Amino acid sequence: MAHGNAKSGRGVEAFVLLEAQAGKALTLTRQLAKIKGVRASYAVTGPYDVIVHAEAPDFKSIAQLVVAKIQGLGSVARTITCTVIESGQG
């Protein structure tokens, strides 16, 4: 398993799938976009309300970002973190 995205030099990337409290998805999406380490946040349809594309220097930093900054927002009900192990981008 790779310890980051060596091609891009960006460290570790992850997609975080979030369930928001009722009626909070759009506000949450805007709040998440302001957090350092969040590359993008998207309000989406389906089983999750928001998807975040995050990056950090290493796995420990990704975990800290998710637990301290993302889950720390009051309107986050649940998260699932999917760490990128390889990218198909050139």
The answer to whether position 44 is within a domain reads: yes
Q: Spell out the SS3 assignment of the chain.
A: CCCCCCCCCCCEEEEEEEEECCCCHHHHHHHHHCCCCEEEEEECCCCCCEEEEEEECCHHHHHHHHHHHHCCCCCEEEEEEEECCCCCCC
Q: Is residue 90 part of a domain?
A: no
Q: What average pLDDT does the chain have?
A: 90
pLDDT of residue 90: 60
Using the predicted structure, report yes or no on whether residue 42 has a pLDDT greater than 50.
yes
Q: What is the dihedral of CA 34, 35, 37, 40, to 10 degrees?
A: -40
> Is residue 46 included in any domain, yes or no?
yes
Percent of the chain residues past pLDDT 90, beyond the cut: 82
> Against a cut of 0.95, is the pTM above it?
no
Report the domain count for the chain. 1
pLDDT digits (tens, 9 = 90+) for 1-30: 344 444 456 699 999 999 999 999 999 999
Looking at the domain assignment, is residue 39 inside a domain?
A: yes
Which residues span the domain enclosing 47? Answer: 25-52+70-78
What pLDDT does residue 2 have?
42
